[in-house]
Structure formats: structure tokens, C-alpha cells
Amino acid sequence: MKRLIYSLIFLCLASFAFAQEAEIENNTFVDGVAFKPQKEFYIFGDVVVIGNNILSEDDKKPFNDMQAVNDDIKMKYVDIDKDSETFSSSQATLKLPKDFKKIAYAALYWTGTYAYEKGSKKEQRGNFEYRGNGKRESNINEIKFQLPNQGYQDITGEVVYDGSTNTTHAINSPYVCYADVTKLLKETETKSGDYVVANVKATEGYLSGGSAAGWMLYVVYQSPTDNPKYISTYHGFALVNKEQPLDITFKNFKSVNQGDVKTSIVVSALEGDATLLDDECAIIKPKDGSFQSLSNGVRFQKNFFNSSITNNSIKNRDRFPNSENTLGFDIAKLDIPNYNNTIINNNISETTIRLKTKSDRFYLYFTAFQSEIAQTYFDDIVQENNPNTSKKASVVPEIVRAQPATVPSYNTEEKRKPYKYSKKGLNSKSFKYLKNKKSSIISGIEGGYYVVTGVFAEATRAGKFTSRLITKGYKANAFINPKKNWNYVYVLRSDTAEEAFQLMEDLKTNYRYRDTWILKTNLD
């Protein structure tokens, strides 16, 4: 009955879910621009985010080598269409739920490193010298955007940041642009489907630090939910390195009065290499003010920004090309692991996330926060902004009509095929990289190659995962890395890279163990 009442309230308040300038703390950066709040919503509904990279090793084939270093890849534009007016294009699929009512907000972002058109590198006495050719065009904010079953539309966005004018960033000249495309999504008949972004500019070839580029579509929509939600978004541009961690504080909400508090964040960044470790995304723990590093099945505590596009513990494969390694472009939608409300408690009205790294620098340009909020708090907000509203009215739900396709779809069989891991073998670049890479130092454990199937912040979770592996016949064990008290669960310690690599590849053919990796430690 309670759910029915809230659903009716949602229907009558569909037009009252509103956006306003959020009063979130801004951060000021010497090398970038301050993060500014964009939109703030109190709404019955949810969020979906999609996107894709625009630079890769091939213009159409997916790139799946997670051991590759961005600097070593000769980048070229991804270009999936056959349109002579586009030089770069990639696609991602938007899926809205069956009980979707209407679009509340849609924001399109595109970003890249763009110092010049094409770059080359030459080795000189053990060092690489980078050179560029081709004039950098100034219209980085002009792209083409294709909605489902439509042709391209020209989009001119706002330049959030252009690093070409900053001496610190001029060497790779990162930029980010933004456009509010809410009206376009509201007016289109077919909202779920394939979206294509074209003519995002970036440096092809080689660039110091590696070239990277991509786009993201962030959508807030109305739909019946058990509890109303607070959703806030903001953007800016911040270099995060070992000298510059970044704190972002969210306010203007009040979590549910009782029961589990469901909270999630979205972050998107540029230049997060898959193989470089020690970058983190953490959230404050209100009891003692410490920060809890976030992780899941595809994002590890020690390597959160790992060149992937993910929705919780699943890599988003509804893209073309659907590369596992998006080569320096990250989008992460992540539920906060709020066990027993230890991070976001009942009646909380503020929280902070912290981004930091000890090795791999990256650029953050977007983040968003959402949490279920107390019904009484939501009612107060609505009444404050709509004092004459009657909550007893009812509204007939909208029906979104499907429309036959009028233009080619890039929703290919290759993109839709189920998970499959192709073994690379001992002659692959991945194995050679493992053999040649420097081993890490972890005190208290024997040196060797560890086949790791999971990394956990909590010992209880690590123990349960270890027990589950043992029941399936694996000789699983765990150890603690004293550096940050991480719990590593592994199924093999070997003296040889060959044995470890072969077992890792066998495990990765099973979808459940797709994120297995090898820790090389205490061997140098």
C-alpha cells in the first residue's frame, strides 16, 4: 500500500521534479577550473549513463588488451559510420526501463587530449622524443550527435576547459566540452536505442603520456520508485596526481529516516591507464572521518580508474566498438557499498568523496551523486516550491511509441554477442609485459606470481569469497597487504610467470572470474 501511495504521489508530482543550482562546495585548482554545480533534482526516478571512447588502435575493432600501456599505442580515430562528413564516431546504447515516464535532464560531454593533429615519437638514448604536426583546430566544441532512428545533428557546446592555454597542460592540451541536450531527448519519439557522437577531436598517433578521448551522455528520468531521490551533477577540470588529491562534498539532501540507504555516484575521467596502479576513489566514513576506498568486480581499490566503462560490477558492452580497454577514458556508475548504513546513515545531509593517486595522474571532469531521501524532506521541498499543489490528483501515464528505423543502426551482432575471452598465449604482448614489469614489494609474503581473483577492503568479504572458491575446487587463500590493509584472494602462487599466466587465462574464460589478474611481487 505504501509503495502504491508513493507511486501515485510520483504521478501527480511528475511536473514538480525540478532542477536548480546546487549549493555544493566548489574546489579551486591552480591547473584547471573550479568544479561548478550544474543541476540538482528532487525526483521520483533514476539515472542512466552511457558513452564510448573515440581513440583506439583500430577504427572499428574492439581493443581488449588490459595490459597495454597507452603511451605504446599508435592511436587512430574510431569511426564506425560511412559518413564522409565525419572523421570520428562511436556509438552506445541507451536503455530506459518499461515504467519510464519522461526525461528530466540530459547532458552530453566530450573530452580529449588534443595538442596537435598527429604525433610521432622517436627513441633517443633510452628516452622518447615526441613531435607533432598539423594545426590544432579551435572549434573543439563543435560535434555531431545522432539520436535513435535519426540522422546527425550539429551540436555546439560550452568549453568547460581548454588546456592548450595553460602552460602546465599545453604538452597534451586536454579539454572538455558540455551541451544540454534535454530538449532533443524530450522531443524524440524513440528514446531508448543507439546514440552516436561524431567529430570529437583528439591527437592521433603518439602523445606524451598517451592520447585519449571519449564522450558521455548522462540522463535523469522520472519513474515510480519506493522513495524519492536527490540527484546532483557538476563539472569542472582537475588534475589529480600524488601532490593533488581532490575532495568533493555533496549537500542539500537528507537520507531516508529508517532502513537501508541506497546511494550511488557517477565519475568520468581522462587518462586513467589500465596498468598503472594506486589511483583511488573513496568516500568519507562519518563515524571517524576516515575514507573508505570504493571497489567492485571491475574497479579495484588500488586501480579505480582503469580505462573502462562500467555500470556497477559489469563492463558496459552495449557499445560499438565495445572495447574492454578504452585507452585512457573512464566512466563509472557505482553503488556505494553501504553495509548496515556504515557510510551513509539515516538522516544524513552531507557526504564527501576523495580522489587521489600515487602514480597514475588523471583528469576528472564530471561527477554526480544520488541518494534516496526522506519522504518528509521531499514533501517540504515540493511544498516550498509549489505551495498550491494538491497531492491527490492523478495523471495518466505517458506512452512512448516505438518508431521504425529510418537510418542504419550500428547495433551489430558483434556488439551484442555474449562475453567471450580469447586466450592470448605465452607469445603475446601481455605475457611479455608481465615478464618484464618490475615486481611490487609486499612485506610478509613469499615472492612469486600470484593469480588474484579479488581484492577486498573487509576481511569478512574476503573470507566468504575464499570459501566459495574452495567449494568450487580451487586452492584459494588470502593475504593482507599491510600498506592499506587490503585483502587479496588468490588461487595460485607460482615461481614461474608461465604457470600463473596460463591459469589466469583459463579462469578468465569463465565470466565469473573475468577480472582475474596477476600480482608479481618480491622478485626484484
Q: C-alpha cell of 487?
A: 585483502
Distance, CA of 461 to CA of 505 (rounded, Å): 24
- Interval 78-116: pLDDT, tens: 999 989 999 999 999 999 999 999 999 999 999 999 999
Q: Does the residue 404 lie in any domain?
A: no
- Interval 156-181: pLDDT, tens: 999 999 999 888 788 889 999 999 99
Question: Percent of the chain at pLDDT above 70?
Answer: 85
Verify that 266 and 360 share a domain, yes or no: yes
Helix, strand, coil abundance in the chain, percent, nearest 5: 15, 40, 45
- Mean pLDDT along residues 405-419: 43
Verify that 195 and 308 share a domain, yes or no: yes
Verify that 132 and 217 share a domain, yes or no: yes
Q: What is the pLDDT of residue 514?
A: 78
Q: Does the residue 293 lie in any domain?
A: yes
Distance, CA of 318 to CA of 415 (rounded, Å): 6
- Mean pLDDT along residues 62-75: 88
Q: Is 209 helix (H, G, I), strand (E, B) or coil?
A: coil
- Mean pLDDT along residues 445-471: 87
Pairing of strands 89-94, 263-270: unpaired
Verify that 382 and 431 share a domain, yes or no: no
- Interval 481-519: pLDDT, tens: 887 677 899 999 999 999 999 999 999 888 778 778 899
Distance, CA of 374 to CA of 7 (rounded, Å): 15
Q: Does the residue 406 lie in any domain?
A: no
Distance, CA of 458 to CA of 292 (rounded, Å): 10
Which residue among 365, 387, 409 closes a domain? 387
Verify that 361 and 485 share a domain, yes or no: no
DSSP letters for 57-85 = SSSSS----TT--GGGS-BEE-B-S--TT
CA neighbor of 116 nearest in space, from 204, 57, 198: 204
Verify that 350 and 484 share a domain, yes or no: no
User: Which of 362-366, 389-393, 458-462: highest mean pLDDT?
Assistant: 362-366
DSSP letters for 306-372 = -S-EEETTEE---EES--S--SSEEEEEEE---GGGSSS-TT---EEEEEEESS--EEEEEEEEEEE
Check residues 303 and 30 and name the one with the higher pLDDT.
303
Q: Does the residue 117 lie in any domain?
A: yes
- Mean pLDDT along residues 281-308: 86
Q: Does the residue 20 lie in any domain?
A: yes
Q: Does the residue 28 lie in any domain?
A: yes
Q: Is 167 helix (H, G, I), strand (E, B) or coil?
A: coil
Across 88-157, where does the E strand assignment appear? 89-94, 102-113, 118-124, 127-133, 142-146, 152-156
- Mean pLDDT along residues 118-138: 85
Count of C-beta atoms within a 10 Å radius of residue 156? 10
Q: What is the pLDDT of residue 203?
A: 96
Local confidence band at 275 (pLDDT 50, 70, 90 cut-offs): low
- Mean pLDDT along residues 295-301: 86
Q: Is 149 exposed, middle or buried (0-12, 13-18, 19+ CB in 10 A)?
A: middle
- Interval 345-383: pLDDT, tens: 888 889 999 888 876 678 899 999 999 998 888 887 776
- Interval 319-341: pLDDT, tens: 999 999 999 999 999 999 888 88
Q: How many domains is the chain partitioned into structurally?
A: 2
Q: Is 470 helix (H, G, I), strand (E, B) or coil?
A: helix
Which residue among 340, 364, 387 closes a domain? 387
Residue-averaged pLDDT of the chain: 83
Whether pLDDT at 3 is above 90: no
Local confidence band at 415 (pLDDT 50, 70, 90 cut-offs): very low
Verify that 127 and 191 share a domain, yes or no: yes
Verify that 345 and 450 share a domain, yes or no: no
User: Which of 58-62, 244-248, 412-416: highest mean pLDDT?
Assistant: 58-62
Distance, CA of 115 to CA of 99 (rounded, Å): 45
Across the strands, what pairs with 160? none
Q: What is the pLDDT of residue 173?
A: 93
Q: Does the residue 414 lie in any domain?
A: no
Contact 210, 173 (CB under 8 A): no
Domain range holding 132? 2-387
Local confidence band at 389 (pLDDT 50, 70, 90 cut-offs): very low
Count of C-beta atoms within a 10 Å radius of residue 337? 16
Local confidence band at 32 (pLDDT 50, 70, 90 cut-offs): confident
Verify that 320 and 433 share a domain, yes or no: no
User: Over the Cα atoms of the chain, what is R_g?
Assistant: 23
Verify that 46 and 185 share a domain, yes or no: yes
> CATH code at 452?
3.30.70.1070
Q: Does the residue 42 lie in any domain?
A: yes
Backbone angles phi, psi at 415, to 5 degrees: -70, -30
Contact 308, 274 (CB under 8 A): yes
Check residues 393 and 478 and name the one with the higher pLDDT.
478
- Interval 203-258: pLDDT, tens: 999 988 789 999 999 999 999 888 899 999 989 998 887 777 788 899 888 888 88
Verify that 338 and 436 share a domain, yes or no: no
Local confidence band at 395 (pLDDT 50, 70, 90 cut-offs): very low
25-57: burial string, b at 16+ Cβ within 10 Å, e else:
eeeebeebbebebbbbbbbbbbbbbbbbbbbbb
Q: What is the pLDDT of residue 482?
A: 85
Verify that 305 and 431 share a domain, yes or no: no
Q: What is the pLDDT of residue 359?
A: 67
Which residue among 332, 365, 387 closes a domain? 387
Q: Which residues contact 276 (CB under 8 A, 6 or more apart)?
A: 69, 303, 359, 360
Q: What is the pLDDT of residue 242?
A: 73
Local confidence band at 4 (pLDDT 50, 70, 90 cut-offs): very low
